[in-house]
């Protein structure tokens, strides 16, 4: 074969390779305009999905914030859960005449425990510890106390209305302020008992640790 024949063969081979390559990159191929448009549409669809997820997360965050901001839209169901209990109580009792007389005393107690607040309106102490000290009139002795009273109660009931939780448990009856969407509840009051006569002044803090 001469030089001209070789040249013609090279040209023919080059053309044969180039034509399929161009065909693959044509308007209908993966690298063509239609393929690029399909890839762009897939990216747009993925972006729309991300935007929808972001909008849903934002709506959930706004609902949660609304409950934190002044307890708006807060319901009883939002308060159900397990709470840590921390409390102190200062108890005073006057001299009670009799045979023998009961000396007056001052007592300070500290409580800690776990409280289960149920959605059905009941509450249950699952653990409690109580320690304190008492200063007694006349002998003026100061002694340490274990004030558990042999149990983990009292158990009781609760209701919620307009930022306040009303708790009753045996002789205990108190109103709790609700804060941070139910994550914290606090109560402080002083009760006087004329028949003893005596008084109690507790400060109680509940902090939620979990929800059902």
Whether residue 51 is found in the same domain as residue 87:
no
CATH of the domain at 119: 2.40.128
Residues near 96 by Cβ (< 8 Å), separated by ≥ 6? 102, 196
Whether residue 56 is found in the same domain as residue 86:
no
Whether residue 46 is found in the same domain as residue 86:
no
Distance CA 125, CA 130 (A): 13
Least confident of 52-56, 129-133, 149-153: 149-153
Backbone phi, psi, residue 90, to 5°: -110, 120
Structure tokens at 68: 């934190």
Last residue of a domain, one of 68, 92, 109: 68
Whether residue 104 is found in the same domain as residue 183:
yes
pTM above 0.85, yes or no: no
Whether residue 169 is found in the same domain as residue 96:
yes
What is the pLDDT confidence band of residue 53, given thresholds at 50, 70 and 90? confident
Taking alpha carbons only, the member of 179, 205, 203 closest to residue 191 is 203
Provide mean pLDDT across the span 59-64. Answer: 62
Whether residue 18 is found in the same domain as residue 113:
no
- For 43, counting Cβ atoms within 10 Å of its Cβ (0-12 exposed, 13-18 middle, 19+ buried), the class is exposed
Q: What is the pLDDT of residues 63-112, one digit of tens each?
A: 655 555 556 678 899 999 999 999 999 999 999 988 888 999 999 999 99
- For 160, counting Cβ atoms within 10 Å of its Cβ (0-12 exposed, 13-18 middle, 19+ buried), the class is buried
Its domain, for residue 111, covers 76-210
> Taking the CB of residue 93, how many other CB atoms lie within 10 A of it?
20
Provide mean pLDDT across the span 172-178. Answer: 94
Q: What is the pLDDT of residues 8-32, one digit of tens each?
A: 343 344 444 444 444 444 555 556 8
């Amino acid at each position: 074969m001469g030089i001209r024949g070789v040249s013609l063969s090279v040209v023919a081979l080059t053309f044969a390779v180039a034509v399929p390559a161009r065909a693959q990159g044509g308007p209908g191929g993966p690298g063509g305009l239609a393929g690029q448009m399909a890839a762009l549409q897939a990216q747009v669809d993925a972006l729309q999905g991300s935007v929808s997820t972001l909008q849903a997360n934002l709506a959930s965050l706004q609902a949660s914030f609304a409950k934190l901001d002044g307890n708006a839209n807060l319901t009883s169901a939002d308060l159900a859960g397990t709470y840590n209990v921390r409390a102190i109580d200062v108890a005073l009792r006057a001299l009670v005449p009799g045979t023998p007389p009961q000396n007056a005393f001052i007592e300070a107690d500290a409580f800690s425990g776990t409280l289960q607040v149920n959605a059905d309106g009941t509450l249950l102490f699952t653990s409690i510890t109580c320690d304190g000290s008492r200063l007694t009139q006349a002998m003026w002795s100061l002694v340490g106390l274990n004030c558990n009273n042999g149990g983990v109660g009292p158990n009781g009931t609760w209701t919620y209305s307009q930022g306040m939780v009303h708790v009753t448990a045996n002789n205990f009856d108190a109103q709790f302020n609700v804060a941070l969407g139910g994550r914290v509840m606090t109560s402080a009051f002083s009760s006087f008992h004329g028949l003893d006569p005596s008084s109690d002044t507790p400060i109680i803090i509940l902090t939620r640790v979990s929800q059902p």
